[in-house]
Amino acid sequence: MVQYDDLLRDFVGEFGTFQKICFVLLGIASIPWGCLQMSPVFMLATTDTWCKIPYDNEIASQFCVVNYTSNCEELIKNLTIPREKIDIGCGATWRFEQCHRYDIGNVSVVSYANEPNIPTSLNNTAKITCDHGWEYDRSQYKSTVSQEFNLVCDKFYLNAMVSTIFMFGLFVGSFVVGNIFDRLGRRKGFIVTLIVTIILGTIEAFAPNYIVFVVVRFFMAASGYGLYLAGFILACEYVGPSKRTLTGMVYPIFFAVGFMQLSLHAYFIRHWWILQLSIMAPCILFLSYWWIIPESPRWLISKGRTDEAEAIIRKCCRINKVELPEEEFREALKNIEKSMKERNSNYDVWSLLKYPNMRKKTLILFFNWVTVCIVYYGISFDTSSLGGNPYLNLFISGAVEIPACLCGAFMIDFPMLGRRGSMMFVMIFGGVTCIILTFVPPCGDYVWIGITLAMTGKFFITAAFSIVYLYSAELFPTPLRSIGVGLCSMTARIGAMLAPQLIFLGQLWEPLPPVVFGVTSIIAGLLIMPLPETRGRKLPETIMEAEEFGKKRKQKKNRWYPGYGEIMKVEADGKYEMNRL
C-alpha cells in the first residue's frame, strides 16, 4: 500500500525548494519562543537590595554637611543599613542586608568625629524588618519583575515560582495544543496560538500585580508552545523520510538563535516590560503566514480533504520544478487516502507499561527526558550566577547549541557510537562536567573556567536533547510512536518545573544545582546501557515486535536457537542432534 512518504520520495521530492523555504520561515517563527522561555534570566534578575529609610530628608539634614559630604545617599545607607558577611567562594565579603535596617527612633541622637558637626553613626544598633519597602540597585537593570512586585526577603521564593508555573503551562499546553492541531489543522492551529500568545504577551507587560503576571504567563506558556510545536510538525511533515531526521535535529537551532537574540535585546533594553514588548512585536509579522505557509497535505488527506491536499502538492511540485505523472499520481493519492482510513488506533498509553521489556525501556526513557530537561533549563536559567557578563553568558549559552545540534546529528550515524552510544557519551560526560563545576568558584580568575565548564555541560546536554527525540521514536512501535514520544515530552516538563526550584535551593547551598545536574546525568547515561541500538535496524511495527526488540535471551552452554529448533552439541567431532521444539 502506497504511503504519503512514498509520494514525497517518488514524485514530489523529499527536500526541494518548497520544503526549504517553508522550513526556514517556520524556523524563524520559533525564534520568539526561545526568547520567551529564557526571558526570566533578565526579567526576573535579582539585584542588590536594601530597606527604604524613613525620615531620610531629616537624616540628610543632620548628617550631610556641605563641603564635607561627597555622597550623601551612600553615607545614609552606610549609617542606617546593617551589613552582613557572605562567602562568595573566593573569600568573604560584606554586603548590605536586604531584609533589615536599624530602628531609627530618634534621628537627633548621633555621634561625631573629631571634626565638629560631622556625624559618623547613629547611636542605635537595634534591627527591624523593612517596614517602608525597599530600594534597589538600578545601575544594571532599570526595572525587573522582582523590583516591580518586591519579590525579596520572605517573597524571594516567588521569583523561582514564576518559571515553575511557566513550565507547568508548557505541560498543560502539550495536551491542549496537540488536540488543537489535530482538530483545526497545523496552519490554523499555528495562527490561533500565535494570536493568543501576542495578546497574552502584551497583557503580561502591563500586569498590575504578581498574581495577574503569573496567571497570564501560565496561559501564555500553554499557547506559546504552539509557535514551536506547529512549526516543528509542519516542517517534518513537509519533508521526505530520509530528510526528516536531519530537519528534526536542525530545527532546534532556531530556538537557540532566540537565546542569542534575547541577550542582544536585554543588553539595550533594561526595563523588563519594554523587553517583553520587544519580544512580542515581531510575532505580529508571522500573521502573514496564513497566506504564505500552506496546510500539511498529510493532515488534509487524513481528514478526507484530498482535493485541497492535491492542490498544495501540485504547487510544491511547480516550485520544486518537478513534473507529476498524472496517472500514477492520482492512483497514489487514492491509495494513501484508503491506507489512512484503514489505520486503527486501538492502542493507548497503558500499552507502553503492560509488557515488561517495553515498560523497562519506557521508564528509562522517562528518566532520561526528565534529566535532560532539568539540566538543560537549570544551566540556561542559571547563567547569571556564573560570574562575568550575564548578557555575554546567555549569548554563548545559545551559541553553543548550534554546534551541539549539528554534532548530535553526526554522532548518531557514527558506526562506533550509534544512537545508544551517543546518548550515553553526552549524558555521562555532561554530568562529569557539571560535577567539576562545583569546585570552581564564580569569582576572580576562576570566572572563565566556570563559564567554560558550564557551557561545555550545556553543549553535551543540548546534544542529548536532540538525540533523545530520535532515539525514543525509534524504540517505540509504530502504533505507539506518537503517543510514546508525546508522553516522554510531557514527562520531561517535570524536570523543567523542578529546575527553577533547584536553582532557588542553591541559595541555601551553592553547589547543590551542579551536583544534582551531574549525578542525575551520569545515572541517566548508565541506564541507557540495557537499551538496544537502533541504528540501521528495522524498527518495530507492532507491540510484540517492540517487546522482543532488544530483549536478551538466556542461552545455555553449548546451545543456540536458530529459530526452528534446538541444536545441541553432543560430541566434539562436529556431529549434531536436532530436537524439534
- pLDDT at residue 133 tops 60: yes
Q: What is the mean pLDDT of the chain?
A: 80
Q: Quick: pLDDT tens for 361-373.
A: 889 999 999 999 9
Instruction: Determine the residue type at 173.
Output: G
Task: Tell me whether residue 325 is exposed, middle or buried, using C-beta atoms within 10 angstroms of its C-beta: 0 to 12, 13 to 18, 19 or more.
Answer: exposed
Report yes or no: 77 and 30 within 8 Å, Cβ to Cβ: no
Query: What is the per-residue pLDDT across 522-574, written as a single tens digit (0 to 9) for each?
Result: 999 999 998 888 777 766 666 777 777 666 655 444 444 444 334 334 434 44
- CA 551 distance to own-chain centroid: 33
Model pLDDT, residue 423 = 92
Same domain, 208 and 334: yes
81 and 155 inside one domain:
no
The SS3 of residue 389 is coil
Given this model, what pLDDT does residue 580 score?
36
Task: State how far the Cα of 293 lies from the Cα of 187, in Å rounded to an integer.
Answer: 7
Say what the pLDDT of residue 501 is. Answer: 85
CATH of the domain at 505: 1.20.1250.20
| pLDDT at residue number 201 | 93
Kindly tell me if the per-residue pLDDT of 51 is higher than 70.
Answer: yes
Query: Higher confidence at residue 62 or residue 413?
Result: 413
**Rounded to an integer, what distance in angstroms lies between the CA atom of residue 237 and that of residue 300?**
11
Domain identity same for 93 and 188: no
**Whether 444 and 569 share a structural domain:** no
Pair (182, 224) in one structural domain: yes
* Residues in CB range of 326: below 8 A, 6 or more apart: none
Count of beta carbons in the 10 Å neighbourhood of residue 24: 12
Instruction: Report how far residue 70's alpha carbon sits from residue 67's, in angstroms, rounded to the nearest whole number.
Output: 7
Model pLDDT for residues 65-121, shown as the tens digit of each residue: 654 555 677 777 777 888 887 766 566 677 788 888 887 754 444 444 444 443 444
Helix or strand or coil: residue 24? helix
Q: Contact 273/39 with Cβ under 8 angstroms?
A: no
Q: How far apart are CA 426 and CA 412, in angstroms?
A: 11
Q: Do 300 and 333 meet the contact criterion of CB atoms below 8 Å apart?
A: no
- Which residue range forms the structural domain that includes residue 570? 549-580
**3-class secondary structure per residue, 398-432:** HHCHHHHHHHHHHHCCCCCCHHHHHHHHHHHHHHH
Query: Are residues 195 and 86 part of one domain?
Result: no
Are residues 339 and 375 located together in one domain of the fold? no
| 176 and 60 in a common domain | no
> Does the pTM of the predicted model rise above 0.85?
no
402-403-407 Cα angle (round to 5): 125
* Domain finish residue from 86, 116, 136: 136
Question: What is the C-alpha separation between 459 and 407, in angstroms, rounded?
Answer: 9
Judgement on whether residues 403 and 438 belong to the same structural domain of the protein: yes
Cα–Cα distance, 143 to 120 (Å, whole number): 32
Long-range Cβ contact pairs of 292-295 (< 8 A, separation 24 or more): 292/25, 293/22, 293/25, 293/26, 293/187, 293/190, 293/234, 294/22, 294/187, 295/185, 295/186, 295/187, 295/188
Using an 8 Å Cβ cutoff, are 386 and 454 in contact? yes
Query: Where does a domain end: 323, 343, 363?
Result: 343
What distance, in Å, lies between the first and last C-alpha atoms of the chain?
36
Dihedral, 386, 388, 390, 391 alpha carbons, nearest 10 = -140
Q: Does residue 571 sit in the same domain as residue 479? A: no
C-beta separation of 271 from 143 below 8 A? yes
For residue range 321-365, list pLDDT tens digits in order.
Answer: 888 777 777 777 777 766 665 554 555 667 777 778 888 888 999
Encode pLDDT of 199-220 as tens digits. Answer: 999 999 999 999 999 999 999 9
pLDDT tens track for 452-501: 888 898 899 999 988 887 788 778 776 666 677 778 888 888 888 888 88
Statement: residue 384 has pLDDT above 70: no
Q: Which of 105, 136, 167 is a domain's end point?
A: 136
Locate cell 482538530: which residue? 183
- Tell which residue, 385, 398, 379, 368, has the closest CA to residue 499: 379
Count of C-beta atoms within a 10 Å radius of residue 90: 14
Domain count, the chain: 4
Find the length of the chain: 581
Question: Nearest Cα to 400, choosing from 453, 450, 441, 440?
Answer: 453
Q: Of 102-116, 220-234, 393-407, which range is least confident?
A: 102-116
Q: Do 4 and 93 belong to one domain?
A: no
Packed helices 186-205 and 272-280: angle between N→C axes, nearest 10 degrees: 160
Shared-domain flag, residues 364 and 375: yes
